[in-house]
Chains A and B, each alone.
Chain A
Amino acid sequence: MSVDITLTINGQRRALTVEPTDTLVSILRDRLGMTGTHKDCCMGICGSCTVLVNDRPVSSCLLLAAQIDGDAVRTVESLESKGSLSPLQEAFLTFGAVQCGYCTPGFLMTATSLLEETPSPSRDEIVEALKGNLCRCTGYKKIIEAVESVANA
């Protein structure tokens, strides 16, 4: 059976027909071609697929699209505006917080949510917020510094 849902994705309303078992990450990537959200462990462990649903970070690999009819989804593609990167994205470049880049969209969305909720987080609060995101190039120090620089800007 198919389920008709409406999602607001990066501010744009989308009417979609999905299977009950379709995950949000598969809809974003495979149906809508929005490949900014990365798919990796598919077990909720790595954080690569983190997107914001109603402004809160969630694992899009563990979220069935059919369950969030009417909700607002924000992906990494929403951070750029008019061809300019967000201050957080710029900071990732400045601090060298990107190596292979696989984990980056997940870190960006998790940190975006943190900074919206807590505009001036302490270093401990940043570490706590990012603890569920894995970087296998082990660039944590630079990622934390990048977020810190925006927090103190």
Chain B
Amino acid sequence: MSGCRFTAAKTVAEAVDSLVAAKGDGHIIAGGVALVILMNEKLLQPSWLIDISRIDELKGITVGADRTIRIGAAVTHREVARSSEIAAVYPMLTEMASEIACGRIMNRGTIGGNICLADPQGDPPVAMLALDATFRIAGPGGKREVPARSFFEDLYVTALGEDELLSDIHIPAPVTNTGTAFGKFAARKAMDYSSTISTAVSLVRDPNGGGIAEIGLGLGGCGVTPVWPEKTEAVLRGRKPDDETFAVMRATLADEIEPIGDSLYSADYKRRVAGIILTRTVKMAYQRTEGASQ
């Protein structure tokens, strides 16, 4: 006997009630592709598992007539990757979800689970930072909203309270002349986990003069959390995407981020790689804006 309780929640309210009753000892499980690793490694022996993978309220992708996007927290990476509606609005999200781990993980792993895990190498958080998404969170007092840009607090620590869960993700619509792209550097094409660098870019091209009017960035593998590099964003605003701009961007980025060195790559190496991948991703996003010369 494991002595573990199990609740197959049918509604968000039931999941929240279980979290409250568990008094901080409840663990939300959706796809399980991260949580069960911890269990297999004996790093976690849960006393109460609350399964949210079959809650209808947490399912579904909705793209509004105004092109805003709502993604339920229990939507799988596969569903995001295969959504033609999402691809039509933000190709970056399709690129991001298509390169997560591999098919059998994409079939179970959820976007909400990945965001709440808050792994510094996770890809969905990086995209959410660049797109300035808002997370809707359910708790005993009802729902509240937290911007992605203030959600990731420390290594595996988020703004979620112990009796709260992420219910859905809201992504604002792109304005005219927006281009997005996702970049990734990994030693192994599939399943790389420890040493990836990822870069998400959403930018708006100024139709008069062709400079970068507005830009949102997100970075993976560049710190203890998914990183929103405000200073690097600031130096790109109002500039043309030329070699000089990218040199300034890379210098600012190298100062702003603090990657963690590991058995494969040192922190300094990751700094350099992040600059190179970000340069490529910004160029790609710019090329995708309407009217950009190829």
Residues of A within 8 A of B (CB): 1-3, 19-23, 42-45, 47, 50, 53, 56-59, 61-64, 66-67, 69, 110, 113, 129, 131-133
Q: Chain B contacts of A113 at CB under 8 A?
A: 103
Nearest 8 A/B pairs, CB to CB? A132-B102, A20-B6, A131-B190, A57-B104, A42-B40, A62-B36, A19-B2, A21-B2
Query: With A and B bound together, what is the CA distance between A74 and B78 in angstroms?
Result: 20
CA of A47 to CA of B33, assembled, Å:
13
Question: How long is the Cα–Cα vector from A69 to B189 in the complex, in angstroms?
Answer: 33
**In the assembled complex, which residues on chain B have CB atoms less than 8 Å from the CB atom of A56?**
78, 104, 107
| Chain B positions within 8 Å of A69 at CB level | 8
Could you tell me the distance between the alpha carbons of A64 and B36 in the complex, rounded to whole angstroms? 8
Q: Least Cβ distance of A61 to chain B in Å?
A: 7
Inter-chain CA distance A137–B102, complex, in Å, is 21
C-alpha spacing A75/B49, complex, angstroms: 26
Complex Cα distance, B4 from A133, in Å, reads: 32
Interface string of B230-255 (1 = CB under 8 A from A): 00000000000000000000000000
Known: A57-B107, A58-B104. A131 touches B189 (CB 8 A): yes
B125 to chain A, nearest CB (A): 19
Q: State whether the Cβ of B146 lies closer than 8 Å to any Cβ in chain A.
A: no
B residues touching A (Cβ–Cβ < 8 Å)? Answer: 1-6, 8, 29, 32-33, 36-37, 39-41, 45-46, 49, 51, 53, 78, 101-105, 107-108, 189-191, 193
Q: Secondary structure of the B side of the interface?
A: loop
Tell whether A59 pairs with B105 under 8 Å between CB atoms, given A23-B36, A43-B41: yes
Known pairs A50-B104, A66-B51 / 8 extra A-B pairs, C-beta < 8 Å: A21-B39, A23-B40, A44-B105, A56-B107, A58-B104, A64-B49, A69-B8, A132-B101
With contacts defined as CB atoms under 8 Å apart, how many contacts are there between chain A and chain B in the complex?
Answer: 97
Closest residue on chain A to residue B108 by CB atoms:
A58
Report B-chain residues with C-beta under 8 Å of the C-beta of A2: 1
Of chain A, the residue at the smallest CB distance from B49 is A20
Q: Tell which of B2, B107, B108, B189 touches A20, judged by Cβ atoms closer than 8 Å.
A: B2
Establish whether residues B40 and A132, one from each chain, have CB atoms under 8 Å apart when the complex forms.
Answer: no
Q: Could you tell me the distance in whole angstroms from the C-beta of A18 to the nearest C-beta in chain B?
A: 9
Distance, CA A3 to CA B32, complexed state (A)? 17
A3 touches B6 (CB 8 A): yes
Q: A64-B32, A64-B49 are in contact. Are A19 and B1 (CB under 8 A)?
A: yes
Cβ distance A75 to chain B, nearest Cβ, rounded Å? 14
Which of B32, B103, B189 is close to A129, meaning CB atoms less than 8 Å apart? B103
Question: With A21-B4, A58-B104, A110-B103 given, is the CB distance from A43 to B37 under 8 Å?
Answer: yes
Chain B residues in 8 Å Cβ range of A131: 102, 189-191
Closest to A3 in B: B6
Given A62-B37, A64-B36, A47 and B4 contact (CB-CB distance below 8 Å): no
CB distance from B208 to the nearest CB of A (A): 42
Chain B: minimal CB distance from A133 (Å): 8
Q: Within the complex, what minimum Cβ distance (angstroms) separates A84 from chain B?
A: 27
